[in-house]
Structure formats: structure tokens, C-alpha cells
Amino acid sequence: MAPRPQEDATQKSNYGSVATTGDSYDEEEQQLLPTPLVVQRQEEEQARQTRKMTGLFLLGILVLAGVTVWGVSHANRPSSGSSMILMDDDSSSTTTTATTDRSSRYSTSGQGISLFVSSPDQDLGLQGTHREEDATPSAIWGDKAQQGPLPTNDWYLNLVSHRAASRPDESTRAYSTPYIVDTAADANMMGIRLHWPVVKASSINVQMVDDFKNAVTLGTLDLAAPVADNDSSSAGPAYQVDPDYPYSNLGVSLKWGDDDAYMKTSIVRGMPFATMKYASGVLPSLFSFNAPASKPVVDGGKSKMECGVLSGPDKEGRTISHGTTTTVQKELSLHFVNSDFTWMLFFSDPVQVECGVTEADDIHVAEFQLNVKSVKGDDEPLLVRLALADQCTTGHSNIHEHCEERNAMDDSDGYVDLLRKYTQYATNPKVSMVYPQEDDEEQTAFVSFDWSPALDDDDSSDDDVARIDVAEDEIETEESQNMMMFALPHQQDKLKDDKDVEITDYCIHSFHGKTCLVIGKKWNLSQDLSQPQSFTARRPPMASAIPLLAKALATDIQKKIPANLQIGAADTYFSGKFLAKIARTIMVAEELKQLAKGGDAVKALGYENVTAADLEESVSAAANANLPSDEAVEKAVNGLKQAVQVWMEDGDAMYVYDKSWGGLVNCGCNYTAKDSTGHCSNSYPNCPALFSVNEDFGNGTWIL
């Protein structure tokens, strides 16, 4: 491996998404989208120029490291030894040759082409690559794979991975909050499994834990799994990303079947229930590894189902005998042993259903299946909603934490009433941002979550609304058109002043904290922009700390950038960390030097959270400190500039444009170390970072 910066020499390159093992699932919290820089006051501009320039260098470093992780580590993680095919746009040759001098494309005078609005290969002169099949987007993407850049780090990507396309299992799942959803349907069914996890924490981690046998599968037996032909070891995916709905940061829609007979669902962040849509004779089935603790309750207690005997599976699948077919107008309540879960199943039209339980000496090892035999109604698609109503119905759950969390919801009956009342579901939620105008008195931006845009489009149909038959006096028209979704704590904080939504007291504990139901079709999350964004804090360093900072700066500002970084012959991850440290060092030096000047220079720093006395002490301490000279800071800036720009100009390890995914990735480097003349012995199209992605995460450099 190529030499790394000294302070990173002992670090292991084991970075990436948190591993999922056994019955646990870890994930990072979704954050608000970033807001743009607010235009700074004219009188501050000159004083902040140097710090802003350094900040841009830092941003560039983060972009370089970020696009590498984005394009390399998350692009379906091709296995070691995978290869790629390099083709031009008309596929007439194996390589795309860029004749433009790339160094001329990036002008430091502001005359160059913007990286973020230009074609990477045509405008910026980057080489373009197409990956081989095992490193391309999975077949689940369908036609959407050709419609633009694909997400490579969204929370639901396990549902559209190559594993999900060929052999979905517990790893092909996503945490929608509060449910965990996977596509490993049980009992020869096509569909989804819905899990309800609990939070477990230790001194070293926080996990969402569930028992897969407590999950419920919602799907169908009417759509057969794809069968592999004689020339293929893979049968292809059982489902695809729904071509009828766009995906977004908030969710993705999946479809089984064809344009006529199909089943489809939308997996959306914060959904309080799962919704499955069935069309053209495709009928629902539900399966659980747990048997009912009591007879299924029909329509709020009007009757109870008599289940028959569930047998199989065999060549014909599972069969139910000696059962009674029951008419369900609106809903079923299912309470299971072992988990002690009570699930609610809602139907948009009256249905005829049957249920069966396997024969067993111990009810705790029996299994359950429910099949819809027919639908009473018109030819419109049937909508089925599945929601957990109670995670500890009698206090005897096999995971005792469920009972602890159940007690956090004071009114479980009221929660079920909300599930009955708000029947709409999101199919293609949209995220947008609204920024204030320059002359607006309040400098507030809004991140908007539009949960139900399909219902507002002119070409939408009533199929996107669960058609629950209720009397007009039971549900007001306006309420029936509303929606409810779970909101994370930071989202609730931003929504508290939004008059168009209602934050309810129906809350659960999720991975991210107290997660509550919010009623409203559109959320506007406010973000205060009244304070200019800055790389400095709103208060100065403490006077007592400034001598220590000055002592550290004297050494750090002189830190030499390794030779291999200067020529772009290093991994982008660790070099990015090293250059980011230099950028931060420069910014600390600039702040202290400006603080030492006192007067207007201090005012330009925009300090607020400090008393006049403390500020005076900090100014005095900075003035008396032995700070780096202007020449030393300028030399560090020039070195940083060269080390950043080399990646996009003539660096040994060049960036290439990944045409399969739509992102920028680093080619990688086979490093030949010969004292100070070390260099990359490979060149495009020989890109080790693309051939051996999993060998060394975040690190495209190898020693020869």
C-alpha cells in the first residue's frame, strides 16, 4: 500500500456501512438536507476572504473523498476480482478517449467549467467507464437504470441490490422507521415481510433487534417466482422498481407481475402501515411463523374466524383444509403467540377469506396463513394495509423489551382509531427546498416533504387512496384526505410551528429516539438562515487555550505534504483526511491572527456568545501569542491548493466517470515505491480501485 500520512499509519481501512448480523440492524440517522450559504454583509467580505478560500479547499477535499466513497463503496460493492468493460457512447470501441487537456478545464480565475453542472466526460474531459454486469445496477432497477444517475447510498438500497434480485434474505431489508421491511417472503409467497424491532443498547453500540419469526409476510401466492432458463444460473428478480412512480430520498415503490396482473407496494420512510395493491385477479395472502393466540377478530368484534388445518409446503404449496370462509367488510385483528403482537389488516373492499394453522402438539411451534379467496366489489385494485397495533398485547412477548416500549404509548385503542381514520398512503413522496428572497424580513428556508403528490396531480387516479367504506358522519371529508406519518425528534422540533400539521402524542421508541405520528400531507421543516454560515464558532477561543493553540500551530502549519499526495498517487480516503487537517490548521491560524488585530477585524468574525470582558481577554491572548507568519500561512495555502487540484488535473491516479451509476470514482493506483520517485505504475483503463473494490475500502492504492 502507498505511504499514508504518518498519523493515519495505524488506522485500518474498515470503513463503510454498519454491518448487519443476526437479528440486529444499525443505521445512521437521516439528517436535514443542507442549506446554501447566506450572502454575507459587504463590510465583512474583505476580512473573510482568506478563510472562505480555505473553506472552499476543505469542501473540495470532502467532495473528492465523498465521491470516491459514493461511487466505489456503494455501487453494489462488486466483489474482488470483478472486471469492467470500457466503452464509448456508441459502443463502437472499448475505450473512451478524451483528447481535451483536463488541466485547462479547471480555471482558478473563475473562468472554468463548473464541476456540478457539466457533463463529466464531454465537458470536463474525464474518461468514461462502463462496468461489467456484476458491478452494474441490479435488474430490479428495470428501465429506471437508463433514466439518469441512480442513488448509491439511500436507506432502501438493500431492497434493490443484486442479492435482493437473486436470493432475497434477511440482509435485503431496510429500516423504514418504525418497521424493518425485507423482500424475503415466506411460504412460497411473493411479497414483503414486516418486522417490528426494539432498541437495544450496550456500551459500544445501539441496535434495532427483532426475531424474524415474529415478522408477518404480506404478499400473494398467485404470482410465480421467475424460473431460470438452461442458459442462465439466475432466474432474474421477482420484482422491479415500479416504473409508474419515481423514487426519492423518502422511499421507493416495488412491483411484482406485469402491466395487467400485478402486486405493488411503496416502502416509505415513516410509514405507519404497509400497503399492498392487488390488480386483475391477484389475491392477497398473509403468513406468520406464529400461530394465533386467539381466533382472528372480524370487523371490530362482529364475528371471529374459524381456522382450518394448514398443511405443506409441497409441490402445490401450502393448502388449507376444513376451514370456514368468512366475509370481512373492513378489517381483521390478529393476535399471535410468542411475539404477543396484535396486527391490524385493513381491506378497501369486502373480501372472502380463509385461514389455517399447522397441526402441532405445542401451539408455540405452529404456523399460520390467511388467504383472500375473492373480492366483492368493482374491478378496481384491492388495497390491503397491514399495521402493528400492539407489540405486547398480554405482557408475554418473547422479547421483553417490547412490553417496556408498549407502556410508552398510553392509548393503544386511540392509535388503532387513527389507523382506521387515516387510510391514505404515500406512493411517490417528494423532497423540495424553498429559500427566502434577499428582501425577505425573515431569513428562513424550508425543507418540504410532500407525502402525497400523486393525489394532487391531474393524471392521478383514486387507486392511490384506500377506499374504506365508512359513513359520512364517521370521518370528515377533509380528514379522510389527510395523511399521517411518523416523524423523528429533530423533524418534530422543526414542525412545531407549522399550523398545517398536527404532532400527536402517539409515539414509539425508534433507533433515532422518540418518534411520533404527525398528521398532515405536507411537512415544512424550517431552517433559520439569519446567521451567515461560517467556519468559525460564534464565540472566540478561551484566552487560556490560545497559547496552547499557538504552540500546536507552529508545528502543524509547517507540516509537509507527502510527495505521493502532491502528485495524486495516494488513496483518496486517507489523503483527504490529511489535507482536511491542513485546511483546518490554516483556518485556526487565520482566526487567531484576525483576533489578534482587534477592532474591526474582531467585529468581522461575528462573535456573539461572549461577554465583552472574555472577548478582551481572548484578543489580548492572541495578540501576545507567537502565531504563524503571513508567509507561513500563504505557503500552507499554496501547498493545499496544489494537493487538491492535482486530483482533477494530472494526478497519477485520475478520476473517471462511472457511466453505469452516474458518479465520479477514482481509478486507483498500483504504487511503485522508489524513494522520492514513487508513482502509480498503472494508468487508465487499468483501474485497480474498480477491479478490487472490496479488498480495501476507501483506498485505491496498492504496493507492487
pLDDT block averages, 10 residues each, the chain of length 704: 37 28 34 30 40 46 40 33 29 34 43 64 79 83 87 92 89 94 89 94 87 96 73 72 93 94 96 97 97 97 95 79 94 97 97 96 95 90 96 89 72 92 92 87 89 51 40 44 92 92 93 93 90 85 97 96 90 88 96 96 91 96 97 96 88 86 84 80 84 51 44
Same domain, 339 and 485: no
Same domain, 500 and 361: no
Domain that holds residue 301: 133-421
Same domain, 176 and 209: yes
Q: SS3 sequence, 370-408?
A: EEEEEECCCCCCEEEEEEEEECCCCCCCCCCHHHHHHCC
Same domain, 219 and 247: yes
Q: Is the peptide bond before 688 cis (omega within 30 degrees of 0)?
A: no
> Is 166 within the bounds of a domain?
yes
Same domain, 273 and 402: yes
Report the phi/psi class of residue 81: left, alpha or beta, with left for phi > 0 and alpha for psi in -120 to 50: left
Name 110's Cβ contacts closer than 8 Å, sequence gap at least 6. none
Q: Looking at 509, 528, 547, which one is the last position of a domain?
A: 528
Cα separation, 273 vs 331, in Å, equals 14
Cα separation, 403 vs 397, in Å, equals 7
Same domain, 413 and 457: no
Same domain, 355 and 455: no
> Is 18 within the bounds of a domain?
no
Helix (H, G, I), strand (E, B) or coil at 603: helix
Cα separation, 31 vs 47, in Å, equals 32
Q: What pLDDT score does 610 carry?
A: 93
Same domain, 302 and 436: no
Q: What is the dihedral of CA 50, 54, 57, 61, to 10 degrees?
A: 180
Q: What pLDDT score does 655 carry?
A: 86
Q: Say what the pTM is.
A: 0.73
- Which H/E stretch holds residue 280? none
> Is 313 within the bounds of a domain?
yes
Name residue 563's beta-bridge partners. Answer: none
Cα separation, 306 vs 325, in Å, equals 8
Query: How many C-beta atoms surround the C-beta of residue 376 within 10 A?
Result: 12
> Is 389 within the bounds of a domain?
yes
Q: What pLDDT score does 593 carry?
A: 97
Q: Looking at 507, 528, 549, which one is the last position of a domain?
A: 528
> Is 86 within the bounds of a domain?
no
Q: What pLDDT score does 424 carry?
A: 92
520 CA to centre of own chain: 23
5 CA to centre of own chain: 31
**Alpha helix (H) ranges present in 157-313?**
162-166
Same domain, 181 and 314: yes
> Is 434 within the bounds of a domain?
yes
Same domain, 520 and 413: no
Same domain, 399 and 311: yes
Task: Provide the angle, in degrees to the nearest 10, between the axes of the packed helices 572-597 and 546-556.
Answer: 130
Please give the tally of structural domains in the chain: 2
Q: What is the dihedral of CA 540, 546, 552, 556, to 10 degrees?
A: 40
Q: Looking at 353, 388, 421, which one is the last position of a domain?
A: 421
> Is 594 within the bounds of a domain?
no
> Is 701 within the bounds of a domain?
no
Concatenate the DSSP letters of all residues of 342-358 into one string. EEEEEESS-EEEEEEE-
Same domain, 467 and 409: no
